[in-house]
Structure 1
């Protein structure tokens, strides 16, 4: 039962890192590459308008909040249910309990990262807007 939360941790960190990289690419295209391309082709409007347009779609905030809720349920609540069930087992061993406490701390850090990323709308390390 010990590997159940570990698998969730690995999948969640991978998902979060990939999401952050994709967000960073979008930020770069929107804020850096688009304006540079516009200057090169002497067009004063946004050359790469998708990155701006898709952020202004009605309901985006609600979809983002729902996605964060689903992410937290998938990557935090479900592993904690498994861990709690294991703690309640009469055959729980002290080494397992110590490992599961470490995993629980990692799940807490992971949930903080999900909430931090969702609250900003921009990933960590994103190029700030001018």
Structure 2
């Protein structure tokens, strides 16, 4: 009976480690996508500005807020899922695995998942990352809107689109700030 229990535990450990590997692979892929989105929004801003200058039609700048919103939302979603995977590993997967192997070892499970949050510079990094993210996804689109508005007068359609884009940018900036985990950055725990 003990051998059968041990075999079941070993299989459970194997399954949990496979889940961990799959989650970390997804996390790595999402990190790659998230990081590339910063380059994508900067490239989009440069391309849209170049086309606008070449065509001499300021209304074309209204494409930039749309690009910033779409790319920014995708960045935010990936960043949120990266965080959720880490949280799941720390709070659910790690404890389940540790409970199975607790008798065999006293080694902490997935220590990196919890230890990295204890860095005393985490707070400043979190604030700087928030500033970079807002600067990349919200500032260029907002600048485009200001340029369009300053150039006035505009048709009602241009004004309506620009106001909707400004509202969507405000929502995006709020969500980016909300998900930045500024409260968690204040507490340094070990």
Interval containing the TM-score (normalised by the shorter chain): 0.7 to 0.9
Tell me the equivalent position of 1:100. 162
Tell me the equivalent position of 1:26. 86
Task: Tell me, in whole angstroms, the C-alpha distance in 1 between the residues paired with 2:176 and 2:64.
Answer: 20
Q: What's the RMSD between the two structures over aligned residues? A: 1.6
Structure 2 alignment gaps of length 5 or more? 1-60, 186-190
Secondary structure of the residue aligned to 2:151 is coil
User: CA shift at 1:44, angstroms?
Assistant: 4.4
Secondary structure of the residue aligned to 1:83 is helix
Secondary structure of the residue aligned to 1:40 is helix
1:25-50 CA-partner distances (Å, limit 9, x unpaired): 00000111111111111244431111
Is the deviation greater in 49-58 or in 86-95? 86-95
Task: Tell me, in whole angstroms, the C-alpha distance in 2 between the residues paired with 1:80 and 1:29.
Answer: 38
What TM-score, normalized to structure 2? 0.60
Number of matched pairs: 122
Secondary structure of the residue aligned to 1:2 is helix
Structure 1 alignment gaps of length 5 or more? 123-130
Task: Tell me, in whole angstroms, the C-alpha distance in 2 between the residues paired with 1:13 and 1:99.
Answer: 18
Tell me the equivalent position of 1:12. 72
Alignment of 1:47-58 (within 5 A): 47-58=109-120
Tell whether the 8 Å contact from 1:5 to 1:80 is kept in structure 2 after alignment. Answer: yes
Tell whether the 8 Å contact from 2:64 to 2:140 is kept in structure 1 after alignment. Answer: no
1:100-128 CA-partner distances (Å, limit 9, x unpaired): 10010011111111111113449xxxxxx
What TM-score, normalized to structure 1? 0.86
